[in-house]
Structures are given as C-alpha cells and as structure tokens.
Amino acid sequence: MDRDRRGPALPAARGPVSAAVTAYLRGGAAPPRDEDADRAPVYGDDLHLALYLCYELHYRGFAGVDARCEWDPALLRVRAALERRFLAALRRDATRHDGVDDALADLLVEPVRGTGVSYFLREAGELWHLREYAAQRSLYHLKEADPHAWVLPRLRGRAKAAMAAVEFDEYGGGRADRVHARLFADLMTDLGLDAAYGRYLDAAGAEALATVNLMSLFGLHRVLRGALVGHFAAVEITSSPGSRRLAEAMRRTGAGPAAEFFYDEHVEADAVHEQVVRHEVIAGLLEEEPELAPDVAFGIDATGFLEDRLGARLLADWRAGRSSLRRPLETAPVPAR
C-alpha cells in the first residue's frame, strides 16, 4: 500500500456519507453507498465534507491514505453521485444570468456599503474575527491557483496564453516566496494560526467547504471548462476592492506586516488580472467556443451564490457574538513586533 505520510490528517466525519468515505479511506471498510449520498442535504456538512475528501485525493491526499485511492472506482462513483446533486442544486438556485456581459457587469457593482464581510472586518472586525476568517478561507487560499491550472490544457490560443500569464503571477512569477499560497501562510502565521495545509478542515463549516468544492468540481471536468473560466473571472474581478478593505482591517487591528501584505498584493495584482481575464481569457475562449457563453455565466453566478452563503453565515454568527467555526481555534500567541 502506498501510504502518504505527508498530507493532513483525515477529519472527523459529519454524517453517514462522510463517515463512510472516511472509513473507506482508512482501509477495510465497505465502499460508500449511493443512497447515503442521495439523502445528505445538498448544502450541508455531510455532503460537502464527503465531496471535499474525494476531491482532496487529487491535490495532496491525506496522511495514512493510499495514494491510489485517487482513482478508486468506488470513490469515483460516490463522488459522481455527490457532484450530480451539487451541480443540479446550483443550476436551480444560483443561475441568474443568461449572458456573459450581464454577469460581468454585475460583478463590477460593489455591494451596498456595510453589507459584506470585508466591510464588517474593516469597520468593526476584531482580531478574533480576522483569525476565524483566515482559518475558514485557508482551505481555499492554500490551494488558491491549483484548480484553475487544470483548465490550461483545455484552452487554446489567446485564452490559454492569458490564463497562463495570470496563473504565473498566482504562483509568484517564478519566486517561491511570492507564491500566493505561501503569502497566505505567512498571513496565518502573523495571526497566530497554524499554517499547515488542511489544518482547519475540521473547523471550517459547510459553506466554506462548498466554495472550495466548486473550484474542484469545475476544474476536474473538461465539460465544465467554461464554468471554471467564469469562476476565475468572478474571483479576479471582485478581488481588488475586497482586498483593499481587508488590508485596511489588518492594519487597523495590528494583525502584522505579512497579513497586510497578502491583501495589499491582491489589490494591485488583481486589478491587472481583471482586465486580462475579461478581455483575453473570456473573450479568447468565446471566440473559439461561443457555445460556452452560458457556462461562463453560470460559473460567475455559482461563485457569487456560494460566496454570499458563506458571507451570510459568518456575519450572522459574528453579529450574534458567537464563533463561526465548528471547533475553537488555539489561543493566539502575542506577536513580537
């Protein structure tokens, strides 16, 4: 058995389907059943942890899990059942735009002042809010560019060249210390968090898992390449103004230089990326494959829908004075400044 010792530990299960997947990955248990996947609430913890576990096998895997599980037929079968339910729910609940132009135009409209997470953190956030936010988002940011890279062999011409250029920036322009995932790990260290990959999987809620699962779903399926480009556009176009507010939150609370730098870097980089994505990646893709326009719009809509669900969950918890996490964070050390 090719047991990987380097990945994160398997998390605690959150219901029948994630329990079955976890037990199967540990070895010796029966394969997960389709009926468990069919009964799990479509936006709930059980389904999204199970789907996250299946997807993570295509990234770094888990400590003690056979690397060959990545292509295990039983896991692929249950993953497909979970994906079908997730994708059907998103097409039903998230679709707002028929055209790419309208979807892109809405991305450029800033939310009403004070209604989003970045506004809350800038204006009223305390260090414990910032730490929770970083822990939740670490599942995304520590693999930030990876699922988007899967689309590169599925693009041609202008779209491929432009996508590769933006990804090159995400990976630090060839410098390991400037890889955006590395910069986020430095941010976590400033906030007194453990920056190990996958460390906060047990703490993150279903809403955070769903945002990461969406990237993996779109990235792993060639048929969804248009939706992945839409997701990429939604992330890059909305990043710069939100990052500016988050950088201000880090400065106001004294979070630390690396915490500030991560978001300052995204203010500049993503303002440039926005133009490249709109005028080269999307335009290039639709020049080659105009039939993918509805999928691009769907990718934008699905991204916004799940980000809004995560934001609503965080704000509801924080405004009620309670933690947004499933498990408490370790006590933050006093930073040496």
Q: pLDDT digit string (tens) for 259-299?
A: 999 999 888 766 677 888 988 999 999 999 999 999 999 99
pLDDT of residue 307: 96
Please tell me the pTM assigned to this model.
0.94
**Confidence band, pLDDT 50/70/90 cuts, at residue 6:** confident
Residue 14's CB is within 10 A of a number of other CB atoms, namely: 22
Arithmetic mean of pLDDT, 292-313: 97
Residues facing 65 on adjacent strands: 4
Give the whole-angstrom CA distance, residue 211 versus residue 309: 9
pLDDT of residue 11: 96
Give the whole-angstrom CA distance, residue 58 versus residue 61: 7
Count of alpha carbons within 13 angstroms of residue 279, beta-carbon side: 5
Arithmetic mean of pLDDT, 311-320: 97
CB 82 within 8 A of CB 50: yes
Share of the chain above pLDDT 70, in %: 94
Give pLDDT tens digits for 52-69. Answer: 999 999 999 999 999 999
Closest CA to 80 of 37, 112, 41, 115: 37
pLDDT for residue 336 is more than 80: no
Closest CA to 210 of 69, 275, 218: 218
Arithmetic mean of pLDDT, 123-137: 97
Q: What does the mean pLDDT of the chain come to?
A: 92
**Confidence band, pLDDT 50/70/90 cuts, at residue 337:** very low
pLDDT for residue 2 is more than 50: no
CB 148 within 8 A of CB 167: yes
**Confidence band, pLDDT 50/70/90 cuts, at residue 7:** confident
pLDDT of residue 273: 77
Q: Helix or strand or coil: residue 66? A: strand
pLDDT of residue 28: 81
Arithmetic mean of pLDDT, 293-307: 97
CATH superfamily of 98-319: Heme oxygenase-like (1.20.910.10)
Give the whole-angstrom CA distance, residue 288 versus residue 153: 14
Give pLDDT tens digits for 77-100. Answer: 999 999 999 999 999 999 999 899
For CATH 1.20.910.10, the residue range(s) in the chain are 98-319
